[in-house]
Amino acid sequence: MHQPSLQDCLAFHALQLHHRAIAGRQMRSLFADDPARFSRLSLDAAGLFLDYSKNRIVDETITLLCALARERGVGAQRERMFAGEKINTTEERAVLHVALRAPHAGGADGSEVGAQVQAVLMRMRDFSDRVRRGAWLGASGKALTSVVNIGIGGSFLGPKMACHALRKQRHPGLDFHFISNVDASELDALLPRLDPHTTLFIVASKTFSTAETMMNAQSARAWLVGHCGAAAIARHFVAVSTNREAVTAFGIDAANMFGFWDWVGGRYSVWSAVGLPVMLAIGADGFGQFLAGAHAMDTHFRTAPLEANMPVLLALLGIWYRNLFGCSTLSIAPYWQDLQYLPGYLQQLDMESNGKHVALDGSTVTLATAPVIWGDVGTNGQHAYFQLLHQGTELVPVDFITVLQEPKQLGAHHKALLANCFAQSAALMRGRTAGEVADELRAQGMAADRIAALAPHRAFDGNRPSNTILLPEMTPHALGALIALYEHKVFVQGVVWGINSFDQWGVELGKALAKDVEAALRATAEPAAAGQDCSTAGLVARARASAAPADATDPP
């Protein structure tokens, strides 16, 4: 069914008029005029706290943004997702990652989704408990001490991010490694540091045919067999997949395969068996808390009014900046070192979901969709790219994320970290006027002509928007809620833009062409360049000319 374009919506027209009226207002003045601004423009949900007062908005802005969400059918589409309807229309699939963390999930398409989810979780629990207790032994009778997850995309980014974020809760006797890149350098750097007799490999691929994952898995298999023999595969490899035939052909016992479903998209899969490394790291009870945190955010998202709904507000503020201010990027700034992989995780979640120019009805969208997501941990980012945030020519909204609980050790560091996080958001909002610079330099005794020369360089406009998200402490529950917050934010934005957030056809062409290019690179005779542009053909020719003889041990 055809949906009117976003710019044809009455609520969007109202927002455009509103934007023209308030775009130039200074947040510094808004705070000065309204001492209650912080308390009014902040909220708690699922254990998280969001301060969105440092945005270029007034109360009317939120009213108009929520009117837009209603006109675009956010509430109805949200219910369709939770009900298991096939809202992923191009693949005719339900979108039920929320069922993975629901304690009593309902059915979809007549199947007992909840029972299926619980059955897999019980098998994961049994396996992880045995590994963590040292009861699952390798082929030589030794307990496993290293876990290597082999995947790519969501099968890599989610488990890696979560295992690092929850470092303090990890099992002390297990080391975790994550391999995704088809570049041999990654495996080449890791394998010599591992003991094959105490290493567990988890191969995560829904179809068990993902090119990068299976090439890495085959190389890891060859390494293990070379040290321990083919029989060792049964004790040192497990699979997260739905392709039983391919898993057993690889040599993995089907009893050691953990399945998931086509209604679990890769970038939403850390809650499924793809999260097996996370369960191994923090235990089954910890993983249960991880799911519970996400479910708490699901409940809030489903039941809270739009005006007090944390994912909805984050989404609508993003649309405000993307489509009214023309902001092309969003910076994620986690002030917590263990969240170092969160910006990359959110980059895939957001850009692979909403990096689309095709509307649900097949027409071309006429307004910008997903921004570029980027960032780094504080305080590192302050000494890298924050100069651009403060004085650059681009307006870049920022999401600051930090943890309140002070570590038992090195507490002074944490106070300094929080001080920097809060001060940077304040500086982005306030800026510094040329008059303030001049007063400061005059107090230092600087000459008037020198002050006049330096003031333009030291002043900056401010009025740069940000959100601040506070976690009470870094726990599985808090991390689960944080991830779910951003999942639902992305969903709401996709609904407003009228696109399908749950397919990713844009990555398919390059993958398909890579097969032909790889065949040309491997060919023993000069390959025909039919169908290749002259640039690609020329690059292949130069690579062939410089290549060493093929290594007979390379996997096919």
> In whole angstroms, what is the distance from residue 134 CA to residue 270 CA?
24
Tokens of 485: 């917050």
> In whole angstroms, what is the distance from residue 538 CA to residue 532 CA?
9
Q: What is the DSSP string of 433-456?
A: -HHHHHHHHHHTT--HHHHHHHHH
Catalytic residue status for 352? yes
Task: List beta partners, residue 310.
Answer: none
Tokens 């969501």 identify what position? Answer: 154
Cα-based distances in Å from 502 to 107, 157, 266, 488: 20, 17, 9, 12
Give, for 232, the enclosing helix (H) or strand (E). Answer: none
Could you tell me whether strands 466-471 and 48-51 are parallel, antiparallel, or unpaired per DSSP bridges?
antiparallel
> In whole angstroms, what is the distance from residue 224 CA to residue 220 CA?
6
> Which one is catalytic: 13, 383, 415, 515?
383
Task: List beta partners, residue 204.
Answer: 240
3-state secondary structure 140-194: CCCECCEEEEECCCHHHHHHHHHHHHCHHHCCCCCEEEEECCCCHHHHHHHHHHC
Rounding to the nearest 10 degrees, give the CA dihedral for residues 316, 322, 325, 328: 150
Contact of 497 with 6, CB cutoff 8 Å = yes
Q: Is 116 exposed, middle or buried (0-12, 13-18, 19+ CB in 10 A)?
A: middle
Instruction: Give 547's DSSP letter.
Output: P
Catalytic residue status for 383? yes
Max alpha carbon distance in the chain (Å)?
82
> In whole angstroms, what is the distance from residue 373 CA to residue 177 CA?
25
> Which one is catalytic: 357, 415, 511, 515?
511
Contact of 164 with 341, CB cutoff 8 Å = yes
Amino acid present at 121: L
Cα-based distances in Å from 522 to 209, 295, 544, 548: 20, 48, 8, 11
Contact of 46 with 296, CB cutoff 8 Å = yes
Residues 6+ apart with CB under 8 A from 508: none
Catalytic residue status for 164? no
Tokens of 329: 């990027």
Task: List beta partners, residue 403.
Answer: 471
445 φ/ψ sector (left φ>0, alpha ψ -120 to 50, else beta): left
> Which one is catalytic: 177, 300, 352, 356?
352
Q: Which residues are catalytic?
A: 352, 383, 511
